Structure 1
Amino acid sequence: MSKFRKEFGTVNPTLIRAISEVSLSRRSVMKLLSAGAVMSTGLIGFPEMSVAAENPVKGGKLRAAMSNGSALDTLDPARSNNSADYTRQYMFYSCLLDLDKHNAVQPALAETWSSDDNITWHFNLRKGVQFHDGKPLTSDDVVFSLNRHKDPAVGSNVFKLVEQMKTIRAVDTHQVEIVLAQPNADLPPMLACPQFFILQEGTKTFTKAIGTGPFVCKEFTPGMRTVGVKNPNYFKPGLPHLDEVELLGITDDNARINGLMSGDLMIVSSISAASANRLKTTEQFGVLESKSGMYTDLILRADMKPGNNADFVLAMKSLQPREMMVKTALQGYGDIANDTPFTPWNPYYRKDLPPRPIDIDKAKYHVKKAGMTGATVELVTMPGIQASVEASLMIQQIARGAGLNFNLRRVPNDGYWSTHWTKDAVGYGSINPRPTIDMLLSQFYLANASNNECHWNNPQFDQLVVAARGESDQARRKQMYGDIQEMIYNQSGTLIPCFVSMIDGYSKKLKGLESWPSGMVMGYRFHEFAWLSA
């Protein structure tokens, strides 16, 4: 605590007592921060993962709620960009391949796949699969589904990823050949991502969904609800267990928790740490925590002031309250990050990059060098991004010691992603996990990526990412990814202070839930595997 006093001055006695007792709720954190206090508490232990050992019960209906919901809700996989879209679409569609609870690639619509050079790939489709309207699945459906991402008029969120695919053709009715422009050893896990759901050839409208998934679309009302009924012809034997699922979008955390505890909802996604701790005090409800690569990031646009000043960026890297975000705002449901999207458990993670604790003197040096001493910077955030509001308040206080002032602007959840994300000079983002590091780099860091958050442009970096993607020698690939991390660490304006655990709340009447690293609520697929106890 003496070190804290030295850096930040006198610490509120109430704060010291709360820290020693590890008793801060999120509301307490916000209250103390608003009063001008800066804090660090002890870690709270992680909840046990729920793993079912019972025999599944067939039948039943349930209602679930995701934290996203708006008029932009979609059934078009190419336009999906949030957890609610993914969860909704997993009800109705299937991919060529699946990711299991260990993030390993498994057969789905494709039974087998192969490549001798990581350039030419062959996928052999499962026979006997039917769309919800009875039409048999063929290679033409796969070719259509993948090729439509290449059409600029579609506005696909994976447009740049599909540019890797030079040709996509049907070899016969049940074999598809994909030839890449450059080698990519990670093509199979990429095709297991929800944007690559397989549609019926010729699909143009998305008021309803006709897929091969575990449920048939009964109703879809953007911003309100989605209803699916069991697909009796689902190609996976014995699944799903439920007869009907109703999926709602409820953006308010308290409303989701209240709906769960009242019995109106059986599972809710993306709850706060405070809500998780509240549920843990009950016997009827459980908490499902999934460690993953999901992160909250602070975005400094590299193509406008002040993010185009390298010294301002370096100053901000030294002002990130990483440990405080994990211990207080996340209440332990997260892990400290080091400004790169590589998690500490990633096999390519570079451990020798020095961690960046708060360093007021270093920040002050770079603020002065940037000519920004006494300057005021607007920082935009919104409550729906985990830990971002608390972090912005912490930064506001800490930065004063470095001669930098922040004007905080909180905006509503609704419209944030279309109006503010990647558009404000300084603001927050939140990125869901991807199955491979190449997908993250390709979608959020390459100069031509559609979601290049900070608009960073480094040709050497881009060349290295493409080279690493096709490298089969693991030692060489690890070296390349090490160099990539160092470049992000030193130069990128996308600052990642922490990785956020995905936390879902559920009624213990709902069985079969497990932690999956690919996404919240069992990789967005709880409805395929869960069942209601008798």
Structure 2
Amino acid sequence: MASTGGGVLKVALTADPISFDPHLTGSLQGRGTTQAIHDTLFGIDESGNLAPMLVTEWEQPDNKTYILRLRPDVRFHDGTEFNADAVVYNINRILDPDIGSIRSGEIKALDTIEAVDNLTVKIALQYPFAAFLFPLTDVSGCIGSPTAFEAHGKEGAALNPVGTGPFKLVSYSQETETVLEKNGDYWDEGKPYVDRLILRPIPTGSTRLVELQTGGVDLAEDLPLQNIASLGDQTDIVVSERVGFRWEYVGFNAKDEFPGSNKKLRQAFHWAIDREALHHAAYFGTGAIGYSGILPGHPFHDTDYQPFSYDTDKAKKLLDESGLGSAEITAYLRPEPVKQRAAQLIQSMAADVGVTINLEQLDYASHRAKLRGGELPMDMHGWWGYRPDPDQYLSVLLASDGSYAKRHGYSSAEMDKLFSDQRAETDPAKRRAMFREITRLMNEDAIYVPWHYSSDFKGISKKLQGFRHAADSIIEYKYISIGG
């Protein structure tokens, strides 16, 4: 029988959250913890549609204007009032160049935002953008106390978060644990169900699993894929799988100084990669083979789209047409077991068609610096997780003003027009057709060579109730209770 409340929920994360500033945090763990502290403007329902959260109602008078009605009688953890001015402050903070928010690109279509009255916000866009509100279901839509932001400044806000969410930060010890406590004045009556939340970063998958099996934690992220099949026999653990969590790709840098500037070389990898072998050897048969950036389960996904097969002859022909004769590429790897396995397999497959890939090891920080600096000749760690609308990530990768497109030296007038057209289109069927064209052109240009759709696996103690496996893998702690 489920408890009506109380207890301590202990969770094994794959990494430390690092920052709880909603406008600066980037990792899944940072986003998840930040959303436990800050409510978002919108939620997402089981069908992937916008749902009420801090915004209770919304309307669109024309294709460039939104009117948002806010939830009344909500207060921040510091006792100050949540209202329209707070929403305007947060959105403007994202766009403030002095803050340097990594979220600014998600709302770049914004022209103006204003408080019409205490509980009404008006948003005007520079151009029609069908998916504009969707980023506000994530940390771009997390609303923090303006009073707290002003008091702590840019640097202090990272570790002094003040939201309206179900939990408050108690303490943070980097790489050791984050402790949150129940917000007793939370607007969603009766939630959260647990009194305290302890989040422990445990980078090694086998260690997370042992902690779950021995009761050190009640919930564990990202279970080791090689253990998934055998865990079905456990009596005190439930394995939850969310299909269509993320898509994996090999990325190329198209700048002149890199081998990936040659389009035929990039295209050869579509045929040189044995996706079936990777599926079983790197992912132990979990997830699914993938050919595009549109995830399974999304209305825009096309299950019949399988344009490539493993064909070394076609790969060699494209390499011959490239005029390179032979190619040598350096790929830098982070300490991630799945990607390490995949990279070694791809290295062998590339060698079979005449391409040498040199694998070099880097720590997370060094790899991230090379990625952000546009210095990776080949990105073996490329992936994007679920978002409610594919514009949210594909535009980052493929539109000329997208941060990843800039890093990888990619620009296409045809691609830019496709993104502009789909943003102005409100008919889902027409947008779906446009995204099929975006997928086709992405694969033709082959800056990103897709090869796998990965599932997300969580390990859960059977004493827990109310766990919801969200499509983006972020844990919704407020619904979880500990059984009596």
Q: Under a length normalisation based on structure 1, what TM-score does the superposition of the two structures give?
A: 0.84
Change (3 A) 1:286 1:351: closer
Secondary structure, counterpart of 2:261 in structure 1: coil
| One-letter amino acid matched to 1:412 | D
Counterpart among 381, 385, 409 of residue 432 in structure 1: 385
Q: Are residue 335 (structure 1) and residue 280 (structure 2) matched?
A: no
Residue 457 of structure 1 pairs with residue 402 of structure 2: no
Which letter maps to 2:10? R
> Gaps (5+ residues) in structure 2?
none
Partner of 1:62: 9
Identity value in percent: 25
Q: What is residue 175 of structure 1 aligned with on the other side?
A: 120
Candidates 258, 261, 264, aligned match of 1:305: 258
Structure 2 match to 1:165: 110
Task: Check whether the contact 1:513–1:530 (CA below 8 A) recurs between aligned residues.
Answer: yes
Q: Which amino acid aligns with 2:401?
A: N
1:186 is matched with 131
1:323 aligned onto 2:276: yes
Q: Is the 8 A contact 1:97 1:105 kept in 2?
A: yes
Does residue 387 (structure 1) correspond to residue 387 (structure 2)? The answer is no
Which residue pairs with 1:44 in the alignment? none
Q: Give SS of 1:182's match.
A: coil
How far apart are residue 278 of structure 1 and its match? Answer: 4.2
SS at match of 2:395: helix
User: 1:349 is paired with a residue of what secondary structure?
Assistant: coil
1:409 and 1:394 map into 2 onto residues whose CA distance is 15
Contact in 2 for aligned 1:80/1:195 (Cα 8 Å):
no
1:54-101 deviation line (CA, Å, top 9, x unaligned)? 64531000221211227xx11111112111101111111011111134
Give the residue type in structure 1 aligned to 2:16.
G
Among 353, 357, 361, the alignment partner of 1:406 is 357
- 1:500 counterpart residue number: 454
The alignment yields a C-alpha RMSD, in angstroms, of: 2.0
CA distance in 2 between partners of 1:290 and 1:77 (Å)? 25
Give the structure 2 partner of residue 532 of structure 1.
482
Map 1:340-419 to 2 at 5 A.
Answer: 340-350=292-302, 353-384=305-336, 387-413=338-364, 415-419=366-370
Is the CA contact 2:468–2:475 (under 8 Å) kept in the aligned structure 1?
Answer: no
Task: After the TM superposition, list the runs of 4 or more consecutive aligned residues in structure 1 that deviate by more than 4 angstroms.
Answer: 350-354
2:83 aligned partner, one-letter code: T
Measured after TM superposition, the shift of residue 414 of structure 1 is 5.2
In 2, Cα distance between equivalents of 1:63 and 1:352 = 42
CA distance in 2, matches of 1:265, 1:414: 27
Equivalence map 1:82-101=2 (5 Å): 82-101=27-46
**Amino acid in structure 2 at the alignment position of 1:389:** Q
- Which residues of structure 1 form unaligned runs of 5+? 1-53
Residues 252 and 260 in structure 2, CA contact (< 8 A), matched pair in contact too = yes
1:387 to partner: Cα distance: 3.4
Question: Is residue 216 of structure 1 aligned with residue 147 of structure 2?
Answer: no
Aligned-partner SS, 1:217: strand
Q: Per-residue displacement from partner, 1:110-164 (whole Å, max 9, x unpaired)?
A: 1111103231101111110010111111111100111111112222222122221
- Residues 279 and 120 of structure 1, relative CA distance in 2, 3 Å threshold: same
Once the two structures are TM-superposed, the CA of residue 442 in structure 1 deviates from its matched residue by 2.5
Comparing 375-384 with 429-438, greater Cα deviation is found at: 375-384
Provide the rounded CA distance (Å) in 2 between the counterparts of 1:443 and 1:401: 32
- AA in 1 matched with 2:204: D
In structure 2, the residue matched to 1:6 is none
Q: Quick one: distance in 2 between partners of 1:378 and 1:516?
A: 36
Measure how far apart 1:191 and its partner are: 1.2
Contact preservation (8 Å) 1:293, 1:341: no
Select which of 440, 445, 451 maps to 1:491.
445
What are the residue-to-residue correspondences of 1:72-87 with 2, within 5 Å?
A: 73-87=18-32
**Helix, strand or coil: the match of 1:115?**
strand
Hey, what's the Cα distance between the residues in 1 that align with 2:133 and 2:35?
A: 18
CA distance in 2, matches of 1:292, 1:163: 27
